[in-house]
């Protein structure tokens, strides 16, 4: 087995190490989120007396609010602090001593978590789809789900780069947890986690289409829900692909500079 495969296997074993935490993480959080979203939007739909809001039926809206937080989970990967914490407490030392690229290692661990959450999304969405939507399940829907999941995983690399840019600031500022939270909020807002992008003003939507954020949530989620055409989905995907090398180069430059600042904690 190669080291990347072994890294993936080790991370999976870490995810499965604690049974109760695993089940709460896998089912508990999502069920609560889904319940809140359903209750909230049901009351909004009932109070308005409408069957569609912003082009969404109640079922579609519920599915959107199932998919958006799960997509954020995929993007979050190993969670905030995966680099900054190790820079802060000197845990980074081991990656610098090992004969492998530290960022490559971190990307692999991040993608392992992302892949795990992707499987979670696929499972929970399919299950919820049958309960919440009466329409017959078609092959195109399944293909959209597969394409959407692939899309999310590629976008996750972009989000990893953005997280790295925040996390690596720890070389200078030690503690950068708040930067990670800020990124999560900005990505959530401009990506469409809190509200579908179709609800946003036209000018903001025009700006967003040139930024990578739409590819994080809105792009893949709308593709899975069948709310965007393959061409529309491809457009935000291409924008992400254009941003990827830019973000990658920025991470590389910051890593190089930051390494010169690193003290490994203490003297």
Residues that bind other proteins (CB under 8 A): 1-3, 5-7, 9-10, 13-14, 17-18, 90-91, 93-94, 96-100, 259-260, 262-264, 266-267
Identify the bridge partners of residue 53 per DSSP, sorted by sequence position: 56
Q: Which residue is it, tokens 């503690």? A: 175
Task: Report in angstroms how near the CB of residue 266 gets to other proteins at its nearest.
Answer: 6
Q: Which is nearer to other proteins, 99 or 201 (CB)?
A: 99
Q: Which is nearer to other proteins, 39 or 173 (CB)?
A: 173
Q: Are 192 and 217 in contact (CB under 8 A)?
A: yes
Helix, strand, coil % (nearest 5) of the chain? 75, 0, 20
Task: Report in angstroms how near the CB of residue 117 gets to other proteins at its nearest.
Answer: 18
Phi, psi of 53 (to 5 degrees): -130, 125
Task: Report in angstroms how near the CB of residue 204 gets to other proteins at its nearest.
Answer: 33
Return the closest-CA partner of residue 159 out of 111, 228, 231. 111
Task: Report in angstroms how near the CB of residue 3 gets to other proteins at its nearest.
Answer: 4
Q: Which residue is it, tokens 């829907």? A: 141
Q: Which is nearer to other proteins, 3 or 26 (CB)?
A: 3
Q: Which is nearer to other proteins, 15 or 147 (CB)?
A: 15
């Amino acid at each position: 087995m190669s080291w990347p495969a072994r890294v993936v296997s080790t991370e999976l074993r870490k995810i499965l190490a604690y049974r109760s935490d695993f089940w709460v993480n896998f089912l508990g959080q999502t069920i609560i989120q889904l319940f809140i979203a359903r209750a909230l939007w049901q009351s909004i739909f009932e109070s308005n007396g409408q069957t569609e809001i912003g082009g969404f039926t109640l079922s579609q809206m519920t599915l959107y609010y199932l998919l958006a937080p799960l997509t954020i989970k995929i993007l979050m990967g190993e969670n905030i602090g995966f680099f900054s914490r190790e820079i802060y407490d000197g845990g980074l030392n081991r990656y610098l001593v090992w004969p492998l690229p530290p960022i490559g290692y971190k990307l692999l661990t991040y993608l392992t978590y992302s892949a795990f959450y992707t499987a979670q999304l696929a499972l929970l969405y399919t299950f919820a789809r049958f309960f919440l939507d009466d329409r017959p399940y078609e092959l195109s829907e399944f293909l959209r789900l597969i394409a959407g999941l692939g899309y999310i995983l590629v976008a996750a690399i972009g989000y990893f780069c953005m997280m790295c840019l925040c996390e690596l600031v720890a070389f200078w500022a030690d503690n950068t947890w708040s930067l990670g939270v800020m990124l999560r909020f900005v990505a959530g807002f401009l990506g469409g986690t809190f509200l579908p992008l179709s609800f946003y003003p036209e000018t903001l939507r025009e700006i967003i289409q040139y930024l990578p954020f739409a590819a994080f949530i809105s792009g893949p989620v709308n593709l899975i829900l069948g709310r965007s055409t393959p061409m529309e989905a491809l457009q935000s995907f291409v924008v992400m692909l254009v941003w990827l090398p830019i973000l990658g180069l920025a991470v590389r430059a910051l890593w190089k500079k930051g390494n010169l600042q690193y003290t490994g904690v203490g003297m």
